[in-house]
Amino acid sequence: MSGYSTSQSQGTTLGANETLTADGIALGNAVKLRGYVDFIFTYEDEDGGDQGERFDTGADVDFLFDFSPVTAELHLNVSEDDGSDLLEQAFGRYSFNQDFHITFGRQLTVLGYEADEAPGLYAVTNAYHLGDELSGVNMRRNYVDGVRLNFNTGMFGLTFGLHDGYWVSDDFDGDNVAIDLAASVMFFPGLEARLGYAYESVDSMMINSNPNPAEVDIDQFNAWLAWNPSALTLATEFDVVSIDPNLPDSGQDYWSWMLMANYQFTDWFAATLRYTHEDYEDDSLPGTGSYDWDSDRLTFAFLFTITDHFGLNVEYSTASVDTSKSAVTNSHKVQGDYDEFLVEGLITY
């Protein structure tokens, strides 16, 4: 896949102006075009449930503008399976100097180790693919509107953002504003650590049809450590999310842990082994008892670079899910074993 390299990571990208260094097709002196098309075959087998297969196709087109010290990006995405908006990202940036920037507009959230798009992933699916499907909510890789201060020296990166929402968009209504803060340190080329925190306060009516509206506080803490000595990439990530409706004996808690190893054996072949644990508990409906689930997921992926612009990737993932109640969420059983086999064709440009 085009996102892989056998060279070490020389510096952190957090807070950096990646518009200037990104690869792409030059459309004149100030505009570059990049993107991808991927098509995925998925076979799913749920324990005691349905077996089935499907094809999913997606496409992404990015325009990068360089009118230094002003730069901007426009990302358009079309995906038939997730109902995502056509407008993925649209933001401008003003660089005060080489290290300090301000970005404004619709941007990707900064918490989380994994990339938001297929060319940057180490497998066909992301590490928390199953949990996102079971909960119906993406805790990471969201796109939000707001303004962000960015600082990057290469070995150290820092961002602070103010948004209209982080998980629930609220258009700066009243006091319901979200913030995020992240810092990254590249101890030496190849070894990076990152810490991040996000907070949002929203009306519970925006999350569900609770007849007793209350302010709900949502916060997330994310930490990861990655080591990239040449062809090997090792990473671990820990994540905690708390949803507090400020009501007695009520709330939702989620935590996860990921371990990953990827090795680039040759220029055309890489492999990934990944383990993910997710744990969720919901006490948001007093009197009905808590609902909780936890999962352990193991992923094996083989990544083949056929040409500079075409990759073929194969993944097998198996997960075990336990829950306190029998439930069905997003057409998936939240109980028992869950196996997936995926084949992806990925064209990048």
Per-residue model confidence as pLDDT tens digits over 229-273? 989 999 999 999 988 876 656 678 899 999 999 999 999 999 999
Alpha carbon distance 246, 216 (integer Å): 6
Q: What is the reported pTM? A: 0.86
**8 A C-beta contact, residue 179 and residue 199:** yes
Say what the pLDDT of residue 135 is.
66
Say what the pLDDT of residue 2 is.
40
Parts of the chain with a pLDDT under 70: 1-9, 48-49, 80-85, 135-137, 168-176, 203-214, 246-250, 284-290, 325-334
The domains found in the chain, sorted by start residue, are 25-348 (2.40.160.10)
3-state secondary structure of 113: coil
Alpha carbon distance 261, 273 (integer Å): 5
Q: Torsion angle, CA of 126/128/134/137, rounded to 10 degrees?
A: -90
**Per-position DSSP letters for 82-101, written without gaps between them:** T---SEEEEEEEEESSSSEE
Say what the pLDDT of residue 46 is.
83
How does pLDDT run across 284-300, given as a tens digit for each residue?
Answer: 655 555 678 889 999 99
Name the residue among 303, 312, 244 with its Cα closest to residue 273. Answer: 303
Say what the pLDDT of residue 86 is.
86
Alpha carbon distance 166, 206 (integer Å): 13
CB neighbourhood size of 130 (10 A): 22
Alpha carbon distance 267, 214 (integer Å): 55
Say what the pLDDT of residue 9 is.
64
Say what the pLDDT of residue 328 is.
44
**8 A C-beta contact, residue 138 and residue 83:** no
* CB contact set of 252 (below 8 Å; sequence gap of 6+): 242, 243, 280, 281, 282, 283, 284
- The one-character DSSP state at 2 is T
Name the residue among 204, 287, 219, 279 with its Cα closest to residue 248. Answer: 287
Say what the pLDDT of residue 102 is.
97
Please report, for residues 196, 238, 242, 297, 335, the alpha-carbon distance to residue 221 in angstroms, rounded to integers and kept in the order given.
6, 8, 9, 21, 27
